[in-house]
Structures are given as C-alpha cells and as structure tokens.
Chains A and B, each alone.
Chain A
Amino acid sequence: MTMNSTGRPTAPTSVSAAAIETVSGSRGLLQHEDLLFEIGTPETTGVDLPKPKGLKSRLGGVARKVDTGLPGLSEPQAVRHYMRLSQKNYAIDLGLFPLGSCTMKHNPRLNEKMARLPGFGDIHPLQPQATVQGALELIDELATWLKTLTNMPAVAMSPKAGAHGELCGLLAIRQALIARGDGETRKRMLVPESAHGTNPATAAQCGFIVDEIKANKRGRVDMADLKAKLEKSEDVAGIMLTNPNTCGLFETDIREIADLIHKAGGYFYCDGANFNAIVGRVRPGDLGVDAMHINLHKTFSTPHGGGGPGSGPTVLSEALAPFAPVPFVVKDEDGIFRLVEQVDGEASESFGRMVAFHGQMGMFVRALAYMLSHGADGLKQAAEDAVLNANYIQARLKHVMSPAFDGYCMHEALFSDAFTADGIETIDIAKALIDEGYHPMTMYFPLVVHGAMLIEPTETESKAELDRFCDALESIARRAAQGDDTLKGAPYLAPAKRLDETRAARKPVLKWAAPDASKVAAE
C-alpha cells in the first residue's frame, strides 16, 4: 500500500459562501439555534430530583394556580443550546476588545478557581460571624489594598457596581451636608459634559440638580467655566469628575479643581472608572479626592460576564468616612473580625444600608487574587503598559484617523470622525472592525467629540496583537476617508447582519409568545 501524498482533490471552481444555502439554517460550524421555547417542552427536565412524598401542604391555600408552562431541556440538549449560542459571542478570550472606558483586560482563571473554593463560594451572609472569619479577613485585606493604592482612609465595600459606587459616594456627600446643616441648601452638583451618563443619573437619584461644566479645547475641564459656576457657591454640593477623564486624558488642573470645590464648601467625587491608567503610579488621595468608586470589574480584572456582575467599592476621605454605609468589617484588638451591621454605636453617623448583605464577595476574592498576583510592582507595570499600548495605537493611527486632542493620551486613544468622507459614519468603521475579527471600540462617547471612537487596548495585549489591530483599523480608516460605500453594509462576516434597532424599540417584543395558532394555519 502506498501513502496518499496528494490528499483529496479540491473543487476546481470557487463559489461565494453567500450563495450557498443550507437546509438547517446553520452555516458550517456556526449552528443555528432556536429559542429555548421552540425546542423544549414543559414536561422535559434535565435534573433528576427525588419524588416528593405527598405531604399535606402548609401553604394555607396560598398556592400557584397556573403552572409556569416553562419548557425544560435534558442535560445534553441544554449543553448544546448554550454552547451553540456561545459561538455567536465575541469575548476577550478570543481577541482584543478595545471598548474604551470599559477596560476589557484578561480575566485570569486562577481568580475563578479561588472564588469557587467552598470556603468562599458556599458560605451564607448571615451565618454566625465566628464561622466566616476568613471571609471577613479577606474583605479587610482587600480593603487595605484599596485604601493603600488610593491613599484614602476608608472604603465602603458594599456597592454592587460602578454606578452603585457613585451612589454610595454621593449619599455620603449628601449625609455630610445634612450633618453640617447644609442638606436643604446645597443641591447643585457640577458634572462635566463629557461625563459618563451614570454620573448625572446618579446625581439626580440622590436629589441633586445637575449643572454641566464645559470642556476646553484640550479635552479637560474648562477652568473659566468652572470658576464662573462657583462664583455663587452657597448651593454647591460638589463635583463629579472622572479622572483620567472620558477623553482618556489626565485632568491637568485636578489639584486646583479640588481646592476650588473645597473652598466653595463642596466635596470632590472622582469617578474611578479609569483608575487602570494610574493605579500604582498616582494615588487619588494625593489629589484632594473625597470619594471615588473603583470598578473591580475593570481595573482589577473580575470578568464582565456579558454585563455584570460588577463591584464598586468606594474609597472615602476623612471628611466623608464617618458617613460610610453599613455593613463594614472591623478588626478588634483580639484579632477577631466583626461586622458592623446597624446604624448605631460606631456607625451612628452612617448614611444607612445600600444593599442586603456585604457586597460582591465573589468579586472580592477574584480582585484580591489579581492584586496579590500583580503586587505593587506588577500593578504599576500594568498601568504603564496600558498607557503605552494606547499611545502606541494613537501613534500608529494618527496619520490616517483624527486624534480628538493633541498630545499623549492615558490608557485610551480618542479619535473624532473628521477624517471620514461624507456619508461614512463612526458606526460604519466600528462594524467593519467586526469583519476583521475585532470587537468595535466605544462609539459616539464621550459626547464632546464628534463621532467619537474611544479605543482602550489595556495592558494584556501583546505588540503583535496591537499591530494586527492597527493594520486592520488603518485599512478601514483609509476606506472611510475615500468614501467606500461597502462599509455601510458591514459587518458581512458576523453571526448576524446589522440589526434593526428602530423596529425593536417601536413595537417592543420583550419575551417569547407562543405563535397564534390561527395565523400559523393561514400561512
């Protein structure tokens, strides 16, 4: 017998993939998958449970009348359902995810493993404190890291996400104002127009009135506008400022801003969403900050999970620390860790409780594992590499795209759409990146830059990955500058084509409904 050294013959003529129709609706490895409700039945179950004994109910008649009718799947069917759906997602584990202000960095698997230790994952928030000393110690240890990295004296651990951390900071400010008798008069919260939408939304949720400050030509706070807004200052509650800001720039005048707001009798809330650019190099406590939330799911690598869970511990200055929410962990002299859960005694000035239980413990474990792995030296290096990577992208693309501002950026590079030909928009460039195998950058944010494209590579990308990405984006940018209309139809190679968002909003279909039998018959 001889070896077949030539392999199987390939087809002589090439056919466009788009022309090939399939019966199944699948496209090769990308399998079509109907909704659960179309493939399962209410009688199917993928778990084997013991049979109930038929004891007499103690519900006292408060019993469900109509069954849920929800379908189930056997275990193999369920596995395939979710695996097939997973194939339609892009993820950081697949490639660069340059979503500006979102900090999509590598999520180490060690952190997942640690969070799943029964001693962390299988403990109840209300079991006796003597049986969870290791958990309380972990919270205390993470709190120490956060306080040390920020040079702030206190941290509230319970906020559930970034916006919840903002709420925590503003509630602390509100309580401080009430405590000094200014609660009714100081209602005005200064917020730069470049701020993330959560900032004004949070301020409004706390009963503050949002007063927008302009950005200057350098993408920073317009100091003249700020000073004008502070001229009459009896009603000023504070300022919410993101630093580095949403343009990817460090606020040059931040110390002066802090001084001005303090002199005006207000407090300085810093949105810490972009802490990754400066962690280990700059401590917000050295900048005059009164409160800052830290997104553990950004800077400290806990996975975004397709939209959460996050975690937003909020560091507080001496001025705001007494008003921190309950619960918090204290270490007593005998080395025992203790939860302070009620607003009295040592927490008598606390503004209250934001949430059931103690915060996002699962995220705490992951974040601490990440911090211990990096250490003080590694975190500093990570920030520097994040900033280096962003500046490298800016340098490589500034000749074909339009940098929004002059000079170096921090951890994200911001471009406007000034370079595009008429008719080509930011969204077309973003969608064309999908065809090149990348998640798009953040688009149309911040609002202060026309057609904004905000690119945040993070430190976990290699130079080779950055080069491949820049090559792709450079090519798209050139096509956009030339007015290549084919960009308008992108993406062509994604699991779905552009989706009709207007239709979704006009007549919302927000859950599956069984097809109307009469209509089905008519078809």
Chain B
Amino acid sequence: MRYLPLTPEDRASMLATIGAKSVDDFYTDVPEAARLKGKVPGLPDHQGELAVERHLTRLAAKNRSASSGPFFVGAGAYKHHVPATVDMIIQRSEFLTTYTPYQPEIAQGTLQTLFEFQTQVAALTAMDVANASMYDGSTACAEAAVMAARVTRRKKVILSGGLHPHYAAATRLLCEAQGLEVVQLPVAIDGEGELAKAVDGETACVIGQSPNVFGTVTDLSGVADAAHGKGALLVSVFTEAVSLGMVTPPGEMGADIAAGEGQSIGNGLNFGGPYVGLFSVRDKLVRQMPGRLCGETVDADGNRGFVLTLSTREQHIRRDKATSNICTNSGLCALAFTSHMTLLGGKGLKQLAELNHEAAVELADALTSVKGVELLTPRFFNEFAIRTPMDAEAVLAMLDEAGIVGGVRASRLFPGDHLGDVILIAATECTTADDIAAYADALKEII
C-alpha cells in the first residue's frame, strides 16, 4: 500500500517495544460481537493509481462541464474564470496540508492571509468586520438569522420572497430548531421592499437579497430604516460576490449583517461545494459573531503577528453557550477567494463586474428580441428571469439538444409556485458573443 510506510519488520519491532503480541491486543475493548473477523465484506481491495484514475475519469466523462459549450446556469453558483495562479497557490503544501492555525508561531502564513481575507470581505461588503469564513452562503444566512435573534432577544425572522429558496430552507431549519418563528413572504421577483411593511416590534431581523434569486437588484436602505425603526436588524444576502464590484453593497444600505456566497471569486463550480461563506457585521456586533476571527497582535520580540482571537465566542471554550457550533470552516476556499481578489484588486473587480453586467445586458436584449419572450427582472446585474410561451422544462430540453445549457427552470427551485414557464439565466465574463447568438437563435427555433 503506497500510503503506508511501515514495513512488516517495523511492525514486528514496534509490537515488541510495546510488549503486545499483535494489533489485536489493542482492540480488546471492542465488544466480541462487533469484532470483524477479516475485512469489511462487500468492498474491493486496494488499487494502483492508474486503476483509480481510470475509474474516476470514466465517471467524470459522464458529466457535461460548464466550459464545454454555451452555459447560462446561475442561481447561487456561477461559472467564472479562475486564474491559474490561484490554483497554484491553494495547492502549495504549506497552505493545502496544514490545519486550523492553533499554533500561531508556525501558522503566520495562514493567519496573515486570513487577516487579509477579512479586510477584503469587510471592504467589499462595506461592513466593519468580517470573519474568517463560513461553510457557504446558505449556512452564513442561517447563522445570521440566529445571531440576530440572539442580539435582539426576539424570536421572529422574516424572509423576503426573493431569497434563494435553499438559503430560506437552511435558515428556516436552524431557526425552527431553536424555537424561532420564521415568516416567509410570498415569492416575488421584485419584492424585497415588502420587507419594510412586514417588520414589526417582535421582529429580530428581516433577510433580503440583492441581487436576489431572480437577479433583481434592490436598494435595501428603506428596509434597513424600517427595521431599525422597530429595533430589528437587516441581514443583507448575496449569492454573487462579483456583484459587489458595482452593485450597492450591504454596508451602503444600512445592513447590520451581510451574509453571502464567495464562490464566484477564486472558486470553481464543484457541483455545489466546497464554497466559501462570507460573513460581516457592524463593529458593535463583533462579539456575537459565529466562526473564527483572526486578529493582529505582537510576538515576544514586539514584531507584528496574527492569532485567532475572541475565541470566548466559540464552541471549544464556551461549549453549549457558544455563538455557533462551527469549527472547521472554508479555509482553503477563503485563500482562493483572497488570492483571486489580490490579483484583481479593486479596479480589476470593478472591471470584471462591468463585463459580467454587459454580458447579461446583451443576453437579455438578444433573448427578449425573440417573439414571446418576456424579461421579468426589472433591474439586474448578471442574471435575470424570463418567461417563455412554453413550459420551461421543455424549452431547456430543446436547448440542451442544441448543445446549450440555458439556465435553471424556476420550478426546480419553487416547485409549487406556478413558475413553470420561467427560466433563471446568468451570464458572466465567460459568456461570449457567439454563446449569446447561439442561445437567441436556438430560442427562436424552439418558440
């Protein structure tokens, strides 16, 4: 076995040092009935690298990769270009094969990148403080809701009708387990503003999303004012981090907590994970945050250094009184995010955002030039919803035959909400003029 360095001679000599006859001696605490007499039945034996590679390559070949043709799927995960340098950096052994930086003297590399990550996320979201990452956007959203309940000592959480339904589901689950009441506003393409009317004196937080799951961008400032007027918090959610380059960020709208998905910057699609949850707050809420925080300090020589800090919020110190149970987060995905962001810089991100927006504008114009296609999203960044005169599933199937992955049918995300003729469509910097033309041409044929 290529991963096991001990030789039979090593094992014999080590057993002799220990004074044991065989490894079986170490397992005598296992109840007799549970001791396997041999290998676990029903599984193959070990294989060489070539055989494993063959097997997995065969499975991979059954999937259609996003880069293999015109591709327009978004709704929470986005096909962006990741520079080769980013992948090289995250494959460096010193980052890839190390642990959570519990021993700061030999983890300054990880810690400094986390400090830079936190600074970048705070700036991008226009908030005061960001943590060192969550699992993903949906769990960041759920943690924001329960944090708001803790901060306000209230029990009602209100979700907008444009919140990604997976985010809504994850949030509802965690809130209800903690005895919180969750109010879901009706599904709405342009309904984030309704949150302002729904907030009342018992509300812990309202959760709005911009751009929302239908792509609609909304200035939530009015919602923030309404929430604050009633003593509630605004949680501002985003699933497309590139939008932060040009769309009004949570902090500029008065959000108290920003929770979002960072996959778009530095991270591949990976069929949904691993991704990186971004989480940032106002200064006064820092001590109620979930997750790791990296802070600046000095070492014994007085040199600047970084450590994990404010850990009295966390499970390993506070146990059942902790702000969250999170331990492992998305460290390496955060490194991918921060290194891509470093390559982009503020100027590069803005330009990238503009390219995304322009691709979506051109796509929307091309598709709505097809007779019968209606653009449903009033203001958008890089994704939008259209209504077609036919069932969306049928349209997407016919597009698929033409080699085009045309988007997500809204009914997959909202099965009971009569959106059978609605398609959610995203464009990014990867979308070419040819892709757009191919989509519009195919749609013309189909409808």
Decide if B39 touches A376 in the complex (CB within 8 Å): yes
Q: Choose among B53, B173, B246 the residue that contacts A353 (Cβ–Cβ < 8 A).
A: B173
Contact B305 A131 (CB under 8 A): no
Residues on the B chain within 8 Å of A122, using CB: 65-67, 79, 268-269
A496-B299 in contact (CB<8A): yes
Q: Contacts A89-B106, A353-B166; is A62 near B18 (CB within 8 Å)? A: no
Contact B61 A134 (CB under 8 A): yes
- Cross-chain contact A66 with B44 (CB below 8 angstroms): no
Q: Give A284's nearest chain B residue, CB to CB.
A: B34
Say which size band chain B's interface belongs to. 35 or more
Q: Is B230 an interface residue (CB 8 A)?
A: no
Whether A106 is near chain B, meaning CB under 8 Å from some CB there, is yes
**Which B residues touch A200, using CB under 8 A?**
315, 319-320
| Contact status A42-B27, CB under 8 Å | no
Q: How far is the CA of A57 from the CA of B169 in the complex (A)?
A: 33
**Would you call A66 and B252 a contact (CB within 8 A)?**
yes
Q: Shortest CB–CB separation between residue A101 and chain B, in angstroms?
A: 11
Within 8 A of A (CB), among B73-120: 73, 75-77, 79, 83, 85, 87-110, 112-113, 115-116, 118-120
The answer to whether B343 touches A46, judged by C-beta atoms less than 8 angstroms apart, is yes
Please tell me if the beta carbons of B109 and A88 are within 8 angstroms of each other in the complex: yes
Do the beta carbons of A134 and B174 come within 8 Å of each other? Answer: no
Cβ–Cβ < 8 Å partners of B327 in chain A: 161-163, 196-198
Q: Return chain A residues, CB-CB under 8 Å to B177.
A: 171, 174, 205-207
Q: Mark A350-363, 1 if CB is under 8 A from B, else 0.
A: 01111111111111
Distance in angstroms between the alpha carbons of A90 and B95 in the assembled complex: 9
Q: In the complex where A91-B94, A161-B135 touch, is A124 in contact with B269 (Cβ < 8 A)?
A: yes
Q: Is A97 an interface residue (CB 8 A)?
A: yes
* CA distance in complex: A172, B122 (Å): 36
Q: How far is the CB of A280 from chain B (nearest CB, A)?
A: 6
Interface residues of B in 32-74 (CB under 8 A from A): 33-36, 39-47, 49, 51-53, 55-68, 71, 73
Partner of B351, one of A49, A63, A460, A495: A49
User: How many angstroms from the CA of A495 to the CA of B266 in the assembled complex?
Assistant: 28
Task: Look across to chain B and name the residue whose beta carbon is closest to the beta carbon of A138.
Answer: B59
B118 close to A510 (CB less than 8 A): yes
A306 to chain B minimum Cβ distance, whole angstroms, is 4
Beyond A357-B166, A460-B3, whether A73 also contacts B343 by CB under 8 A is: yes
Q: A94-B94, A408-B26 are in contact. Are A297 and B381 (CB under 8 A)?
A: no
Contact of A460 among B5, B90, B311 (CB under 8 A): B5
Cβ of A281 to closest chain B Cβ, rounded Å = 6
A64 and B294: CB pair below 8 A? no
Interface string of A274-302 (1 = CB under 8 A from B): 00001011110011000000000100010
B334 CB to nearest chain A CB (Å): 8
Q: A91-B98, A508-B310 are in contact. Are A46 and B345 (CB under 8 A)?
A: yes
B333 and A308 within 8 A (CB): yes
Would you list which residues of chain A between 131 and 179 have a CB under 8 Å from chain B?
131-135, 137-138, 141, 145, 148-149, 160-164, 166-167, 171, 174
A510 touches B210 (CB 8 A): no
Interface positions, chain B 287-338, Cβ under 8 Å from A, are 292-301, 303, 305-307, 309-312, 314-322, 324-333, 335
User: Would you call A412 an interface residue if the criterion is a C-beta within 8 Å of the partner chain's C-beta atoms?
Assistant: no
Residues of A contacting B397 with CB < 8 Å? 128
Q: Chain A interface: which of B7-15, B153-161, B200-208, B434-442? A: B7-15
A374 CA / B53 CA spacing, docked (Å):
13
- Report whether B56 and A171 are in contact in the complex, using a CB–CB cutoff of 8 Å: no
Q: Cβ of A171: which chain B residues have Cβ within 8 Å of it? A: 173, 177
Give bound CA distance, A497 to B402, whole Å.
Answer: 62
**Structural contact, B379 and A305, CB atoms closer than 8 A:** no
| Given known A59-B246, A72-B345, A125-B272, contact A282–B319 (CB-CB < 8 A) | no
Residue B391 at the A interface, CB < 8 A? Answer: no
Q: Measured between alpha carbons, how far is A283 from B29 in the docked complex, in Å?
A: 14
Partner of A361, one of B14, B172, B270, B380: B270
Q: Are B179 and A355 in contact (CB under 8 A)?
A: no
Q: Are B4 and A201 in contact (CB under 8 A)?
A: no
Residue of B nearest to A254 (CB): B31
Knowing A307-B292, A376-B44, A505-B310, say if A118 contacts B23 (CB, 8 Å): no
**Chain A: CB-nearest residue to B125:** A68
Say yes or no: A384-B18 contact (C-beta < 8 A), given A127-B64, A255-B33.
Answer: no
Which of A33-41, A221-229, A260-268, A476-484 faces chain B? A33-41
Tell whether, in the assembled complex, residue B307 and residue A499 are in contact, meaning their CB atoms are under 8 Å apart: yes
Q: Which residue, A283, A375, A431, has most C-beta atoms of chain B within 10 A?
A: A375
Whether A348 is near chain B, meaning CB under 8 Å from some CB there, is no
For A307, the closest partner residue in chain B by CB is B331
Question: Which of A56, A164, A282, A499 makes the CB contact (< 8 A) with B35?
Answer: A282
Q: How far is the CA of A308 from the CA of B249 in the complex (A)?
A: 27
Interface bits A409-435 vs B (CB < 8 Å: 1, else 0): 110000000000000000000110010
Chain A residues near B255: list those with CB within 8 A: none
Q: B105 contacts which of A104, A117, A358, A495 (Cβ < 8 Å)? A: A495
Residues of B within 8 A of A376 (CB): 39-41, 43-45
Is there contact, CB below 8 Å, between B274 and A123? no
Most chain B C-beta atoms within 10 Å of own C-beta, residue among A35, A52, A67, A496: A496
The answer to whether B244 and A64 have CB atoms under 8 Å apart is yes
**Is B126 an interface residue when CB atoms closer than 8 A count as contact?**
yes
**With A64-B245, A205-B174, A355-B170 as given contacts, are A123 and B64 in contact (CB-CB < 8 Å)?**
yes
Q: How long is the Cα–Cα vector from A150 to B301 in the complex, in angstroms?
A: 51
B170-210 at interface with A (beta carbon < 8 Å): 170, 172-174, 177-179, 210
Residue of A nearest to B407 (CB): A126
Shortest distance between the CB of A31 and any CB in chain B (Å): 12
Given A197-B315, A308-B133, CB of A85 within 8 Å of CB of B112:
yes
Nearest neighbor of A122 in chain B, beta-carbon distance: B65
Query: Is B229 interfacial (CB-CB < 8 Å)?
Result: no
Q: Is the CB of A503 within 8 A of B298?
A: yes
Q: Contact check, B83 vs A491: say whether CB atoms are below 8 A apart.
A: no
Question: Is B273 part of the binding interface, using a Cβ–Cβ cutoff of 8 Å?
Answer: yes
Among the stretches A4-12, A107-115, A314-322, the one at the interface with B is: A107-115
Residues of B within 8 A of A180 (CB): none
Q: A86-B109, A126-B75, A306-B335 are in contact. Are A356 and B137 (CB under 8 A)?
A: yes
B45→A309 contact, CB < 8 A: no
Known A-B contacts A91-B97, A392-B17; the reply to A69 vs B310 at CB < 8 A is: no
Q: Of the candidates B6, B52, B122, B271, which one forms a contact with A132 in the assembled complex, judged by CB atoms under 8 Å apart? A: B271
What separation, in Å, do the CA atoms of A57 and B379 have in the docked complex? 9
Question: Which residue of chain B has the shortest Cβ distance to A513 in the bound complex?
Answer: B119
- A65 within 8 A of partner (CB): yes
Q: Which residues of A have CB within 8 Å of B60?
A: 114, 117-120, 134
A42 to B346, CA, bound (A): 6
Is A500 part of the contact surface with B, judged by Cβ < 8 Å?
yes
A197 touches B314 (CB 8 A): yes
Residues in B whose Cβ lies below 8 Å from that of A357: 76-77, 136, 166, 271-273
Q: How far is the CB of A86 from chain B (nearest CB, A)?
A: 4
Asked if A373 and B3 make an inter-chain contact with CB atoms under 8 angstroms apart, the answer reads yes
Task: Report how far A355 CA is from B164 CA in the complex, Å.
Answer: 11
A303 on the B face (CB < 8 A): yes
A433 to chain B, nearest CB (A): 9
Judged by a CB distance under 8 angstroms, whether A102 is at the interface is yes
**In the bound complex, do residue B45 and residue A377 qualify as a contact, i.e. CB atoms below 8 Å apart?**
yes
How many angstroms between the C-alpha atoms of A135 and B62 in the bound complex? 8
A-B pairs, top 7 by smallest CB distance, nearest first, are A72-B345, A119-B60, A357-B272, A305-B332, A134-B62, A307-B331, A125-B272
> 28 interchain pairs (CB within 8 A)?
A45-B347, A58-B380, A59-B217, A60-B379, A63-B247, A82-B339, A85-B109, A93-B93, A122-B268, A123-B65, A127-B71, A134-B61, A160-B136, A160-B273, A196-B327, A197-B322, A207-B179, A306-B98, A308-B331, A357-B77, A357-B136, A373-B47, A375-B47, A395-B17, A460-B5, A463-B5, A495-B106, A497-B299
Kindly list 9 other residue pairs between chains A and B, CB separation below 8 angstroms, not including A303-B97, A355-B170, A462-B6: A69-B123, A135-B63, A149-B43, A197-B318, A283-B40, A305-B98, A306-B107, A310-B328, A463-B10
